[in-house]
Amino acid sequence: MQKLRQSGTLIGFVLIIAFFSFQLPDTFLTARNLLNISQQLSMLAVVAATMTIVMVMNDFDLSVGSMASLSGIVAASLFVNEYSIWAGIGAALLVGLVGGLFNGILVSVVGILPFVATLGTLTVYSGAAFLLSGGKTIFGRDIPKSFSDFSRGGIEVGSIKIPMLTITAGFVIFVCWYILEQTNFGRRLYAIGGNREASYLAGIKVVKLRMLAFALTGLGAAVAGLMYASRVASANPTQGAGLMLDAIAAVFLGMTMSKQSEPRVIFTLIGVLVLGVLDNGMTQMRVDSYVREILVGLIVIAAVAVSSISKANR
Amino acid sequence: MMHKLTLNNVSKAFNGVPALNDVSITVLSGRTHALMGENGAGKSTLIKLLAGVINADSMSIFRDKEHIRITNTIDATSAGFRFIHQELNLVPEISIAENILLSKNLPTLFGIQIDWAKVYRKAELALEFLGATHINVKSQAGVLTSGDKMLVMIASAFVAEEESSPYLYVFDEPTAALTDQESEMLFSAMTKLKEKGAALLYVSHRIDEIMKVCDDISILRDGVLVKSTEIKNLKKAEIIKFMTGRELKDSYPPRTASMSSKKTISLRNIETDYLKGITFDLKAGEILGVTGLAGSGQSSLLKLLVGVGKALSGDATVLENSLAKSPHDAWSKGIAFIPRERRSEGLCLEMNVRENVVLSHLKSYGFHAKPKLEQSDVEMLAGQVKVKYNGSHQPVFELSGGNQQKVLFARALKGAPELLLLDEPTRGVDIGAKYEIYTLVRELSDNGCSIIISSSDLPEILGMCDRILILSDGRQTGLLEKCSLTSGDLLTNIYSSDLR
């Protein structure tokens, strides 16, 4: 039963790939399309990987989408006022870090449920993005060319060019994996997720660590926002909106694959790939994007249902 | 006419550890039957079986000649069993009347609209039966004092029922939260129930109270019925002996090293939100027992020493320092703590043995995780405390209670603590593992570790501790040298300190 749960997502993933390869024999399983998928997915991968950090503690962050929008707007606004690229990027990352820390303070120090606290900041950060941009998309000459060129670039490996966004996502995933799986910091986060009261009584600084974890998630959202702004060479106060649900969906999907249904960065990545491949394949098959939304929702429910049922059966 | 409720051959084991072993009791209508025993003797298990909350491995119940089957709580209710639990389970946001009628359908007009007049009347009648007429059934339950809350809880068992009249009332430590005056109200209500022909099963730790209100008595010890008779046949001292009568001689390892004179703890008149007048010294290698009636502040005292909560006044020196500011602070100063609720406060159940043992000591492994090193450390410690497991990668939820407790001991030992705080260290632990835990505690003490054990298991306190601190309602009411104390002396002390 547990084996079936653990391998179910992977089997589903293989079936999806097989289905699209069969339906789209000429276009789907090509290096070009796969690289394209990896680039399309890179923002979601970054947000989902950093979302894993808070979800390890049984918390979650609903504000990542609007934080991504806000970070793009912050950078673009600075560009408009002729600040350097590094100033723009630095400010955007700082906003992510501080915004995330604020989430952490609300959840950990004040003690508001993560759902309520980050629902509140979701609105706050989104409002700030609209306020800062005047509700308009910032684009064109205001965005420095070298900023948008980043996402057009890549590293040549033999005959293929790996996009910079893919490399960035890979780097972030590696850092998250390293933090969560290879450091004692990460081990403490898993312990907090396992039993917060026991961890506290065992001498873990629960309040501080939860704050830090939220700060990292906020930072991840800001990175994704910058990647997005670079890719479309513009910043729009709603452009991160879809990230939050997909990121949480990816983590939940990944959780079905781990032994005790705990989030793992590697499995989150598979969750991201499932969503990305579905997206890409269905777009190519000209399936209505609303159908995709229904499908994603159902997948999340199925994933969580499987985890809950297997826990209840113990 | 007199009815007879017979429980035959009741047995129940949890994870292979027997909680009740072939217990048979007969309860007569029109009489109050006391159920006594120490914590862990099996009283709560028996009540839960009667209530259908858990299912027995074997049990047959007869009402006179009629066989009664109980597999769930609905069966228990329709058999005419009513339960008054010791926990306060009121919903504070709704009215007292609704709380009293919570388990029943509210009376309605035309089957739809709630007939509030009738609701209030029914609740008032139930309270009147108890003599608690000072409670306004229309106000919110949250505003009640704890004594009144208990009265409301009790009253909910007395709501008049059209369909069937209750046959057995089970009282589980009903007076724990009541004043003497409120207890008297309960006792006269119990007399009225008896006159109506109901059978009453009464659980309490208060021997004097039992002797006063009960007609018959059954005493459980370690899951076995040791005595069942009319209460007039027994004296108080005999009851205590039946309750605690296990052989103490060989079960507690004796001290082998002499205590040093080095002081590790010195508390003077410590006061917190809940505790008052806590004053004691502790020497290196000394074992202090903390005991009292359930919830008298034992856990608060241990938690204060591990850095949870603050002292409002008084002087404290702990390991040549002030009180720990947080559990983190405590562990890094050499204070180890094994909490009372090992599943909710001690362990990350889904994580493995290794991760649980090193949890408090991750700092000593640096920034980068070192699973290999941890594993060899943990295997050594696990061997030392004799954990039975399939390897340090095994999740702790798969271990038995005793082995889970040993995992916590391994965690505590890891830092070579100077002060070890144990809250009910052998609760839910089988006899064999208990002895291993005692041996471990003795070894630590012989090596100079100061130990505080909070326990409601009196033989354990007497067998292991050098001195015994008695708490009552958060106040230190005694600090006894063990020397020649017996279980009975200690019980007398605990109960007399509770007289108000």
Kindly list the structural domains of chain A, giving each domain's residue range(s) and its CATH number in brackets, ordered by start. Answer: 2-312 (1.10.3470)
pLDDT surpassing 70 at residue B88: no
Q: Is the pLDDT of residue B460 over 70?
A: yes
Question: From the CB of residue B320, how many other CB atoms can be counted at a distance below 10 Å?
Answer: 11
The tokens for A6 are: 């653990």
pLDDT of B266-290, one tens digit each? 999 999 988 999 999 999 999 999 9
Interchain contact B305–A (C-beta under 8 A): no
Burial A246-264 (b: 16+ CB within 10 A, else e): bbbbbbbbbbbbbebbbbb
Q: Pick the residue of A184, A185, A200 with the most B CBs within 10 A to test the interface with B by mutation.
A: A184
Q: Is the pLDDT of residue B473 over 90?
A: no
Query: Which uninterrupted H or E stretch holds B271?
Result: strand B263-271
Angle, helix A164-177 to helix A145-152, in steps of 10 degrees: 80
Share of chain B above pLDDT 70, in %: 93
Segment B181-203 shows an average pLDDT of 89
Q: Where exactly are the structural domains of chain B?
A: 4-244, 263-496
Task: Give the nearest chain B residue to A198 (CA atoms).
Answer: B345
What whole-number distance in Å separates Cα of residue A52 and Cα of residue A171? 15
Tokens read off for B399 = 């271990």
Q: A220 touching B, CB under 8 A?
A: no
* pLDDT over 70 (residue B500): no
Beta strands in B308-418 (DSSP E): 313-318, 335-338
Give yes or no for residue B110 having a pLDDT over 80: yes
pLDDT category at B499 given cuts 50, 70, 90 is: very low
- Put simply, the chain A residues between 78 and 107 with a CB less than 8 A from any chain B CB are none
One digit per residue, the tens of pLDDT, for chain A of length 314 reads 677 778 888 888 999 999 999 998 888 889 889 999 999 999 999 999 999 999 999 999 999 999 999 999 999 999 999 899 999 999 999 999 999 999 999 999 999 999 999 999 999 999 999 999 998 999 878 889 999 999 888 898 888 889 999 999 999 999 999 999 999 999 999 999 999 999 999 999 999 999 999 999 999 999 999 999 999 999 999 999 889 989 999 999 999 888 888 999 999 999 999 999 988 999 888 888 888 888 888 888 888 888 777 666 55
Instruction: Indicate the residue of A197, A203, A205 with minimum beta-carbon distance to B345.
Output: A197
| Multiple choice CATH, B263-496, 3.30.450.40, 3.40.50.1100, 3.90.1150.10, 3.40.50.300 | 3.40.50.300
Reported ipTM: the value is: 0.87
Tokens representing A189 are 């986060």
* pLDDT value, residue B338: 95
Residues of A in contact with B326 (CB under 8 A): 203, 205
To the nearest whole Å, the CA of B348 is away from the closest chain A CA by: 5
In this predicted model, what pLDDT tens digit does every residue of B383-421 receive, in sequence order?
Answer: 988 888 888 889 998 887 788 999 999 999 998 899 999
Query: What angle separates helix A114-133 from helix A85-104, to the nearest 10 degrees?
Result: 150
Long-range contacts of B160-164 (CB under 8 A, 24+ apart): B160/B122, B160/B125, B160/B126, B164/B78, B164/B80
Cβ within 8 Å of B, A 171-190:
181-188, 190
Neighbours of A42 (CB within 10 A): 27
Task: Give dist(CA B347, CA A199) in Å, integer.
Answer: 8
Weakest-pLDDT range from A14-23, B80-89, B212-221, B293-302: B80-89
Structure tokens that stand for A202 in this block:
């065992």
Q: Residue B1: pLDDT band by 50, 70, 90 thresholds?
A: low
CB contact under 8 A, B345 and A186: no
Residue A92 backbone dihedrals phi, psi, to 5 degrees: -65, -45
> How far is B38 from B243, CA to CA, in rounded Å?
6
Q: Which residues contact residue B49 at a Cβ distance below 8 angstroms, ignoring those fewer than 6 apart?
A: B10, B12, B20, B55, B56, B59, B70
State the Cα–Cα distance between residues B415 and B165, nearest whole angstrom: 60
Mean pLDDT of chain B: 86
Chain B residues 359-388 within an 8 A CB cutoff of chain A: 359-360, 362-363, 365-369
Place of tokens 């909680």: B19
d(CA B27, CA B6): 6
> Residue B41, Cβ neighbours under 10 Å: how many?
23
Model confidence at B484, pLDDT cuts 50, 70, 90, reads low
Contact B33, B217 (CB under 8 A): yes
For residue B356, the one-letter residue type is N
Per the CB < 8 A criterion, the answer to whether B39 and B424 are in contact is no
**Which range is most confident: A122-131, B17-26, B90-99, B201-210?**
A122-131
Question: Is A186's CB within 8 Å of B369's CB?
Answer: yes
Assess contact for A44 and A246: CB atoms under 8 A: yes
Q: Provide the chain A residues 229-288 that lie in CB contact (below 8 A) with chain B.
A: 260, 262
Mean pLDDT in residue range B111-133? 90
Q: Decide: helix, strand or coil at residue B123.
A: helix
Please report the pLDDT score of residue B249 as a whole number: 45
Rg (CA), chain A: 19
Phi (first) and psi of residue B279, to 5 degrees: -140, 110
The verdict on a CB contact (< 8 Å) between B327 and A202 is yes
Tokens for A234, please give them.
């513009």
Alpha carbon of B335 to those of A40, A50, B298: distances in Å? 52, 35, 17
The stretches of B386-469 forming alpha helices (DSSP H) are: 401-414, 431-446, 458-464
pLDDT for B164 equals 64
Torsion angle, alpha carbons of B186, B192, B198, B204, to 10: 20
Q: Distance between CA B443 and CA B211 in Å, rounded?
A: 42
Residue A262: phi, psi to the nearest 5?
-95, 150
Measuring CA to CA, how many Å separate A184 from each of A200, B16, B362, B363? 15, 37, 6, 8
Give the pLDDT confidence score for residue B248 in this predicted structure: 42
**A260 contacts B350? CB cut-off 8 A:** yes
Over residues B236-247, the mean pLDDT reads 75
**Confidence (pTM):** 0.78
Report the side by side order of strands in the sheet with B216-221. B81-84, B168-172, B199-203, B32-36, B216-221, B224-230
Asked if B198 and B169 touch (Cβ cutoff 8 Å), the reply is yes
For chain B, say whether A307 makes contact (Cβ under 8 Å): no
With contact defined as beta carbons under 8 Å apart, do B213 and B202 qualify? yes
**How many whole angstroms separate alpha carbon A167 and alpha carbon B471?**
64
Q: Which residues share a beta bridge with B35?
A: B203, B218
Q: Please choose, from the candidates B195, B215, B271, B326, the residue with its C-alpha nearest in 3D space to the C-alpha of residue B476.
A: B271
Instruction: Tell me the C-alpha distance between A237 and B188, whole Å.
Output: 72
Q: Which residues of B touch A179 (CB under 8 A)?
A: none
Among B46, B83, B49, residue whose Cα is nearest residue B167: B83
Strand partners, A215: none
Kindly write down the DSSP assignment for every residue of B194-249, as one continuous string.
HHTT-EEEEE-S-HHHHHHH-SEEEEEETTEEEEEEEGGG--HHHHHHHHH-S--T
Q: Is A201 on the interface with B (CB under 8 A)?
A: yes
pLDDT of B40 reads: 67
Sign of the torsion angle spanned by Cα atoms B402, B404, B405, B411: positive
Instruction: Name the residue among A181, A184, A198 with its Cβ closest to that of B348.
Output: A198
Q: Do B355 and A190 touch (CB under 8 A)?
A: yes
pLDDT band at B246 (very low <50, low <70, confident <90, very high): low
Which residues sit opposite A299 in a β-bridge?
A: none
Residues of A in contact with B394 (CB under 8 A): none
Cβ distance A203 to B365 less than 8 Å, yes or no, reads no
The domain defined by B4-244 carries CATH number 3.40.50.300:
yes
Predicted confidence at residue A128, as pLDDT, reads: 96
Question: Which span out of A184-193, B86-95, B155-164, B338-347 was modeled with the highest average pLDDT?
Answer: A184-193
Confidence tier at B496 by pLDDT (50, 70, 90): low
Beta carbons within 8 Å of B299's beta carbon, 6+ residues apart: B339, B340, B423, B454
